[in-house]
Every structure is written in structure tokens, then in C-alpha cells.
Structure 1
Amino acid sequence: MEFCDECGSMMKTDGDKWVCPEGHEKLRDRAKEATMKTTQGQEHSSAVDMSDVDDAEIGPTTRVKCANPDCDNDRARYEMKQIRSADESETRFFTCTECGQKWREDDH
């Protein structure tokens, strides 16, 4: 993946150069590209079967009230991801250990 030095947009290849949506261009560096990772060919990858995995192996849990009003459980698996700009806090994603309800929590 290459980003434009002028506007910061993600660039796409066009022959022997990289081009951004704003029209800025720079020459491709084949040696640098050889070290890049690609997702090409992964479009049809299959889901991972987690049915035989013990819940203790999936990740950390925390004490939090389930978002499902019909569930009284107070434990959920969680993970944190940076989905907004780097100067904002991470978003917490929860999955109830009892009913499987998923929800997210953002700091405002």
C-alpha cells in the first residue's frame, strides 16, 4: 500500500507509477513493493470455525451488563480497536458470554 505525500490519500498503481485520487503521481519502487503485503487472492477466504474452541482461549472477559434486555448476564469477551483518528480513544467491542449479543462502546 502506498500513500500520497501531497494529500495522504491511498494510491493505486497505473503502469510504472502510483496515482492518488487527486491526480498526484510518483514513480514505483519495485524493490520496496517486493516487501509489501497484499490481500489479493484472499477475497474468497472462508470463515474460521470456532465451535470447538474453549471460551477461555478466545480472549479476555470483563464484568459488564449485556446489551440484550432479555439477558441478565454480566460477563462479556472484549477487544479494543482504533477505528477513528489516532488522537481519539479506542472503541471497545463486546460479545456476551451467555447469549452472544454484540455491541460497541465509544468514549464521547
Structure 2
Amino acid sequence: MQFCDECGSMMHAEDGEMVCSSCGAREPKDTARAEEFVSTEAQSEDDVIESSEDADFEGKPTADDVTCDECGHGEAWYTIKQTGAADEPPTRFFKCKKCGNRWRGYS
């Protein structure tokens, strides 16, 4: 994400330049840092679940009130993270104890 030096608003890419959404200021795209940026159009929900595939769930709390969509097993490890604003409920990230399928649950 890049912010405008003039007004501080978020900029978006347009024809090889970064353009301010508010004041219209333009500046060249910083190609040296281009690999650091991720376009929201390229993201999907699959990119967001838990930090890594090899995250260690074993030893975490266990939930027995869930059902895995992949294998139907009724027990999973879980972690809780605050993914929204502080006044919103946290998100639980699950990993099936039988098949390893991962999903998230909202309170």
C-alpha cells in the first residue's frame, strides 16, 4: 500500500503510475519495491487462513463442537486471533485432528 505525500490518502496503480484517490497527485511507480506490494484483486480467502501450512496446532486447545467439512470428524485444534476491530468478536482458526483440514470460524 502506498500513501500520498500531499494529503496522506491511499494511492492506486494506474498506467504505470501511482495516483492518489483523493487529490489526484501522481508519482512514478517504485519498481524496486513493487514485489513488496500485493494487489487486493490477487488475494483470496485461501491466502489468509493461519500463518503457515506448518503452523504447530498440536498442543493447542481442542474443540469438540465443530465438524470438519472434509472428513466429518468432530474434533479440531484451534487458535483464536483478533482479526477485526477490537469491538468485534475474535476469529477461531481450526485444524482437524484427523485429516489436517484447516478452516476458520466466526463467533
- The TM-score by the shorter chain falls in which range? 0.3 to 0.5
**TM-score (norm: length of structure 2):** 0.46
